[in-house]
Each structure stands twice: as structure tokens, then as C-alpha cells.
Amino acid sequence: MILVLLGCAVEQALVVAPDPPRPPAEPSAEPSVPNADTAAPPPDTEAPPEDTGPVAPRAPEAGELVLAELMIDPAAVADAHGEWIEIVSVASDPLDWTGLELADDGVDLTVALGSGVVAPGGRFVVCADGDAAANGGVSCDGTWLYHAFGGGLALANTGDELEIRLGGAVLDRVTWSAGFAEVGAATGLEPSAENAADNDEATRWCAAVAALPGGDSGTPGEPNRPCP
Ligand SMILES: [Ca+2]
Ligand SMILES: [Ca+2]
Ligand SMILES: [Ca+2]
């Protein structure tokens, strides 16, 4: 009897014995090690990525900033508040105009204050008064100290000169005489003449017609209309 029981136990143990371990799976047909001829190079040998970050602004050179629109004789507000100057960049790099000087041939000389970077093809506006509620509705990027006959700058209605300078170097210059400035309208440079040489010709300028919030005309910070 005992032998029979032992025999049953042995038989049961044989039945429940686990299967022998299977051999490890065959390696995949796809090699896990890249082929040196076709694989991308490891990261530490890749060429450095092309620098696509922003270009640091640099100082403008002569001819790269162009006087493009002048509010010489505002009517909606007094000249001390309503004069402004639009300048366009014709450079292909961002320009930092911090420290821009505004001057005439006589005693006027002042330094414009404001944020000083203009993008390629961009425009900025510097004003006698930066308060849009007081200057006829113009948004300004900078201001200058308005003062006639020295101690600042003023744009004479019947004729004057205006230079923009940086560090003493003249970047652009415009002169005008009686009739150049229309009362209550900014005088804008013809778009096809937006360079420091062509803006020397008074015939390339014309009065703006787009209305400003204060009632005068001009396109501060926006492209000028083609002159008729
Ligand atoms: Ca004036
Ligand atoms: Ca010029
Ligand atoms: Ca304009």
C-alpha cells in the first residue's frame, strides 16, 4: 500500500514537473546595432546647428536711417507739442538708434530719448511731445527736447535743416524752404525715394492726407503714400 501511494506521488510529481526552460529567443532579423555606413552620426559629431537666433542690433551707418516724414507745422496743437519726425531704416540688420542726435545748421542740437531698436525696413517716430493725448494723436517711439533758438530743437515752418547724427556722424540730412510744409499736414517722402540721397529733393515729398486722431494729417510709423 505504501509503495502504491509512493508510486502515485512520484507519478503526480512527474506530471506537474515544469517544462524545461526554453532556449532564448532568436535575435531579431533587424540588427540592433546601426550600420556604420547608413546610420546617422552620433550626436557629439554632428555639425553645430545653424544660428537662426536674433541678430544683435548694431549702430546705424550713414545712409541707413532715412528721414521719411516730417510734421513741421501742426495745426491741431501747438508746434511745441505737435512736431514729429518719422525715420525709416533701409538697413538689412536691426539698428540701435539709442543716442540719436537731431540737429540743424545753427544752434539746434538735442538727443532723442526712447527705445532705440528699429527692425530692417521698420520705422520709428520721435516727437516733441510723446503724449498722444497732447500731440494730436501720434504714437511715439522717442522724444526730443523742443526748444526754438537753441537748447533743444524745433522744425522751422518756413525753412530749416534737419540732420540725424550718431556720435557726431551725419546719418541723413534734409533741408526745406517756404512751401515745403503744409499747415496741419505732415510732409512725407515718396516711397520710391526712401533713401538718404533722393530725400534731398523737395519734389520727392508731398503732404500726407491720412487723418490723425487730433485732426491733422500724417502717417507716423506707417508707409507714406505715393506722391501724385
Ligand atoms: Ca514748426
Ligand atoms: Ca538726405
Ligand atoms: Ca509715414
Q: Tell me, rounded to whole angstroms, the distance of Cα 69 from its chain centroid.
A: 19
CA of 38 from ligand 3 middle (Å) equals 57
Provide the mean pLDDT of the chain: 85
What's the per-residue H, E or C state across 2-30?
HHHHHHHHHHHHHHHCCCCCCCCCCCCCC
CA of 186 from ligand 3 middle (Å) equals 9
| Residue 9 confidence (pLDDT) | 42
Cβ 172 vs Cβ 193: under 8 Å: no
Look at residue 113 and give its three-state secondary structure.
Answer: strand
CA of 123 from ligand 3 middle (Å) equals 8
Q: Could you tell me the domains of the chain?
A: 65-207 (2.60.40)
Q: Is the pLDDT of residue 14 over 80?
A: no
| Residue 149 confidence (pLDDT) | 81
CA of 41 from ligand 3 middle (Å) equals 53
CA of 141 from ligand 1 middle (Å) equals 19
Using alpha carbons only, what angle is made at residue 170 by residues 167 and 175, rounded to the nearest 5 degrees? Answer: 140
Give the tens place of pLDDT for each residue, 16-54.
Answer: 444 545 544 444 444 444 454 554 544 555 666 676 677
- Spatial CA neighbour of 119 closest among 189, 188, 192, 55: 55
Give the tens place of pLDDT for each residue, 40-93.
Answer: 544 555 666 676 677 899 999 999 999 999 999 999 999 999 999 999 999 999
